[in-house]
Amino acid sequence: MEPKPWRDRVREEEELLARLNDLVSDAAARRAEALLDGVAELGSRAEVARELGRSWQAVDQAIQRYQRKRPTEGTTTTE
């Protein structure tokens, strides 16, 4: 059995990386939404961080990244 040409292997790995990046992005968005639900329940990002045993900055940064990426209501996108 002859091994796959390197070009095919590179293309397949690039496709896999793209799919994995999409999965990571989706998971990060769902996590940020859950963190926001925690903020709504507990009252602050600091309280959510304490509850999870994480730093306030980690919770804040995850939420901020999510909010920067999602379009807000009433805005148009160029997509």
Residue 19 CB coordination number (10 Å):
10
Axis crossing angle, helix 45-52 with helix 56-69, rounded to the nearest 10: 120
44 occurs within a structural domain: yes
pTM (2 d.p.): 0.78
Q: Does residue 25 register a pLDDT over 60?
A: yes
How many domains are contained in the chain? Answer: 1
pLDDT digits (tens, 9 = 90+) for 29-63: 999 999 999 999 999 999 999 999 999 999 999 99
Distance between CA 27 and CA 30 in Å, rounded? 5
75 occurs within a structural domain: no
35 occurs within a structural domain: yes
Q: Does residue 73 register a pLDDT over 60?
A: no
Q: Structural domain of residue 58, as residue ranges?
A: 28-69
Per-residue pLDDT at 74: 55
Across the range 54-78, mean pLDDT stands at 84
13 occurs within a structural domain: no
36 occurs within a structural domain: yes
37 occurs within a structural domain: yes
Per-residue pLDDT at 70: 84
